[in-house]
Structure 1
Amino acid sequence: MRVITVDFDGTLYQGNSFKVMFDVAKKQYGAKQWAVVGFGTLKALGKLVTSGKEPAKHMFFRSFVKSFKGKSKSELEGFFYALANGDLERVNRPLVEKVKQHIENGDKVVILSGALNPFLTAFREAVGLEDADIIGSELFYDENNIAIGKMGDIVNGDKKAEKVQEWLKNRGLTVDDVTLWAYADSESDGPLLDMVDYPFVVNPDEDMEKLAQQKGWPVFGS
């Protein structure tokens, strides 16, 4: 059995999902929600100074999720649909076609990302990858399907490798029982790329290209 994991930001999608999120929010948000986002942005800037880029990004992400508080699940599905369909020209079409080929060959495909699950679900449908599973960051709702403004673990770095192992365990499998592939773009994806049998680097920046050369990881499309 072959399991193919595919990252989203920078891999399947080669734009900036935060920018698209802002663009959609401009059309849908009111003053109260922008106040939440603005306060979170200030906190994230402080975290950038004290802790660095990655913790700052995570804080901003969680702050943005706070702005969803009080929205129904159906309202947010509309938001994420607009988000997923808002910048499709930046979709990595050659990789999407490669992933479709994996599915046609009987491989199990998993879209693996720190992005929120409802966003990944909308994106999966927008690009015709409905048969792929999703491992993303969970958005929490109450018993009435109203967002509470909180999310689960951000699936990034070591967490990606952990989540893949958890996904396999839930199916009675281990990494030794399957042939694992991974398409990813970031240095933070290193633990995942180290774990799989067939790692592929997608759209690397200069630092990632150097790491790929050191590790002997092939670059998709080159």
Structure 2
Amino acid sequence: MIIPILIGIGSGLSLIMAIGAQNAFVLRQGIRREHVLPVVLICGLTDALLETLGVAGIGFVIERAPAVLEIVRWGGVAFLLWYAWTAVRRAMKPQALVVEGESAGSLKRTVLACLAITYLNPHVYLDTMVLMGSIGNAQGDPAKWWFALGGALASVMWFFALGYGARMLTRFFATPKSWQILDGFVALVMLVIAARLAFGGMGV
């Protein structure tokens, strides 16, 4: 029981710790202390759900549905480009960032943005349902379900640590210049991922 759980935790962390659109979004919300709980819950529980579905065998179906992934792929490219542009606009008006930071933004808007970043990224399905599903199924019964539990724990722990741990950076981001740097970084991450999706297909 313990070994499959540890394998699940290790495999899950190795896939989600890399800087990506989702992590950049969670980091920014954590630093701003805006709607952190719903954001980390959406990200963590979504990963947990998709990993469980992958272990259950749904990843096998997704892997053989290129048309569906293509639709998600181009929807993700469009959204990432839009989000990158909004980050650039924020970086160009650093004074507005400080004022905005004094009051939380719309919960609905934040949740919708989080859902879009999460579900319009085709790599989330490949990482969770296909890769984690494949590794989990290789464990056999009943170990694969303990593996799924480990993967779910890794996702939830990571996003909670990222979202709430980002608060330690609040003092650094007390100046407009710091927010310019962060939003410039967020825009760059979104653009790179959008380019990889558009020109590299699903093999990146």
TM-score where L is the length of structure 1? 0.30
The structure whose residues are more often strand, as a share, is 1
TM-score (norm. length: structure 2): 0.31
Greater fraction helix? 2
Which structure exhibits the higher relative contact order, with contacts defined as CA atoms closer than 8 Å and separated by 6 or more residues? 2
